[in-house]
């Protein structure tokens, strides 16, 4: 984790948060993901009047990277200009688990320069992924 340029990720996520479309929650979020290639991809939350149509920043960043051909990632940082540090929501944790290893660092930071760091495994233990399913014991075996 020491070789991750956290200030660069925070800057990219902060710029992404400035582009968020959050007219309903007033809760802009920006995310930066660091791919194995070294490239940084960003996303912001895009809300919709039909709340189920809202897409979180984490999923937008990962989708942008996937469109660019990325499939493996090293780190993710969530930024919001709110006092609360905000980890990824449940559905985003599941999407993150599809592309990140359980020991990948996931950080949350805010405009007050507060930061918290977890591993994906801490945020989503026993994640439902093809790797987990292939390595889990069979029920009734």
- Predicted confidence (pLDDT) per residue in 42-81, tens digit: 999 999 999 999 999 999 999 999 999 999 999 999 999 9
Residue-range domains of the chain with CATH: 6-135 (3.40.140.10)
Q: Where are the beta strands (DSSP E) in 12-140?
A: 30-35, 40-44, 73-80, 105-110, 115-119
* 58 is a catalytic site residue: yes
Stated pTM of the model: 0.91
Q: Which residues define the annotated binding site for substrate?
A: 45-51
Q: What are the binding residues for Zn(2+)?
A: 56, 89, 92
Q: Residue 78 has what pLDDT?
A: 98
CB 34 within 8 A of CB 4: yes
Round to whole Å and give the CA distance between 94 and 98.
Answer: 7
Options 36, 58, 98, 122, the catalytic residue: 58
């Amino acid at each position: 984790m020491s070789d991750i340029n956290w200030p660069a990720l925070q800057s990219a996520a902060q710029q992404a948060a400035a582009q968020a479309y959050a007219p309903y929650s007033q809760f802009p979020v920006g995310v930066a993901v660091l791919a194995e290639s070294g490239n940084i991809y960003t996303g912001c939350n895009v809300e919709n009047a039909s709340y189920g149509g809202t897409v979180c920043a984490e999923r937008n960043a990962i989708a942008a990277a996937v469109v660019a051909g990325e499939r493996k990632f090293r780190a993710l940082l969530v930024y919001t200009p709110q006092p609360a540090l905000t980890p990824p929501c449940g559905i985003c944790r599941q999407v993150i688990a599809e592309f990140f290893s359980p020991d990948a660092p996931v950080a949350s930071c805010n405009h007050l320069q507060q930061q918290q760091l977890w591993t994906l495994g801490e945020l989503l233990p026993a994640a439902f992924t093809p790797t987990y399913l292939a390595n889990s014991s069979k029920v009734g075996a």
